[in-house]
């Protein structure tokens, strides 16, 4: 059964709404993260309500641990448990600072240690084949959308953009002279990201065809959907899956897979970790370090296959 905030006591509904406003308005958390955190907290209070705990100031550390244990028994992954523990700590810390609570019961709530998994990676040959296939398809299509698709793929891989960042680009976001693109990223933070020659050339070809799609709804959006509005992330995900399906042996990845590939290929080419962190817009260097694990894994595989004393 899906539990909504309307099923909670009025005081808890008000507290969750206040926390929702805090996340969106003060911390500038993405709508998807806000939705996930509020959903986690709604489940927590529904769980505790069935055990007679109906107010935030009644919650104890034992209650929180009991809820996470129930989540684990239900099959939640370590990553999901970690996110839910983070949502709980964030809410109670905010409630304590805002004067809704006198104590924070989540101070000693630990997160399960996440298991780092190496993402499937598009290798450099497959990345080149992806762009070749996209250009071939664009040449076979009479309209401008194939040209747009090539530009999207080149920007996702060439600059390592998140799909939301790509969809948010405007025509003035590009600085072709300096080969940079202004990206509006997570946490309402802007950053300048390098753009390669092939990506910029592909975008220029798209801009020449953009008027064929543009309508009064287009505004300054760089990439447009078939009806002229700003392109939807779901459209981008579908086109990435579709084009990757044309590349023999390529893993079935979405836009984030092209971001992974860009970071991995940069490190394989000798880029330093801090520069890659800045390009990707990671708040923490630890997030970027997953890509050092990927490259180290590949080095280990090469060593095992080639060294006579492996």
pLDDT tens digits, residue range 12-71?
889 999 999 999 888 888 888 899 999 999 999 999 999 888 899 999 999 999 999 999
Of the candidates 96, 184, 282, 293, the residue annotated as catalytic is 282
Residue 137 annotated among the catalytic residues of the structure: no
Q: Which of 252, 153, 257 is nearest to 206 (CA)?
A: 153
Residue 243 annotated among the catalytic residues of the structure: no
Of the candidates 148, 162, 243, 265, the residue annotated as catalytic is 162
Q: Phi/psi at 63 (nearest 5 deg)?
A: -60, -45
Residue 37 annotated among the catalytic residues of the structure: no
Which pTM value belongs to this model? 0.64
Residue 186 annotated among the catalytic residues of the structure: yes
pLDDT tens digits, residue range 63-83?
999 999 999 899 888 888 988
Q: Write down all domains in the chain, each with its CATH number in brackets.
A: 5-97 (1.10.150), 124-305 (1.10.443.10)
267 is written with which tokens? Answer: 């490190």
Give the model's pLDDT for residue 152: 97
192 forms beta bridges with 182
Residue segments in the chain with a per-residue pLDDT below the cut of 70: 1-5, 113-119, 283, 285-303, 305-310
Of the candidates 184, 191, 241, 256, the residue annotated as catalytic is 256
- Tokens 């005081």 appear where? 11
- The pLDDT mean for the chain works out to 87
Residue 234 annotated among the catalytic residues of the structure: no
Give the model's pLDDT for residue 293: 62
Residue 259 annotated among the catalytic residues of the structure: yes
Of the candidates 22, 84, 205, 259, the residue annotated as catalytic is 259
């Amino acid at each position: 059964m899906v539990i909504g905030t309307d099923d909670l006591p009025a005081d808890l509904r008000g507290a969750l709404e206040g926390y929702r406003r805090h996340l969106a308005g003060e911390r500038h958390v993405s709508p998807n993260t806000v939705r996930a955190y509020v959903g986690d907290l709604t489940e927590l209070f529904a769980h505790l309500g069935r055990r007679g705990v109906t107010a935030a100031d009644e919650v104890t550390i034992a209650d929180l641990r009991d809820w996470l244990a129930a989540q684990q028994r239900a099959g939640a992954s370590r990553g999901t448990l970690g996110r839910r523990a983070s949502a709980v700590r964030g809410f109670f810390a905010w409630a304590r600072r805002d004067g809704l609570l006198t104590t924070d019961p989540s101070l000693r709530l630990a997160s399960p240690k996440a298991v780092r998994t190496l993402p499937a990676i598009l290798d450099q040959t497959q990345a080149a084949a992806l762009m070749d296939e996209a250009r071939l398809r664009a040449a076979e299509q009479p309209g401008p959308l194939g040209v747009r698709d090539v530009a999207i793929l080149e920007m996702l891989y060439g600059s390592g953009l998140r799909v939301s960042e790509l969809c948010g680009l405007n025509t003035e976001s590009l600085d072709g002279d300096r080969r940079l693109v202004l990206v509006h990223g997570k946490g309402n933070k802007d950053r300048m990201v390098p753009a390669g020659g092939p990506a910029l050339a592909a975008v220029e070809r798209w801009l020449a065809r953009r008027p064929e799609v543009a309508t009064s709804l287009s505004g300054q959006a760089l990439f447009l959907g078939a009806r002229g509005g700003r392109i939807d992330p779901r459209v981008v995900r579908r086109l990435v899956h579709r084009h990757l399906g044309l590349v023999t042996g390529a893993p079935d990845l979405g836009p984030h897979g092209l971001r992974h590939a860009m970071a991995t290929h940069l490190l394989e080419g000798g880029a330093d970790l801090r520069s890659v962190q800045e390009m990707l817009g990671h708040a923490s260097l630890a997030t970027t370090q997953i890509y050092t694990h990927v490259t180290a894994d590949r080095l280990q595989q090469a060593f095992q296959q080639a060294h006579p004393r492996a």
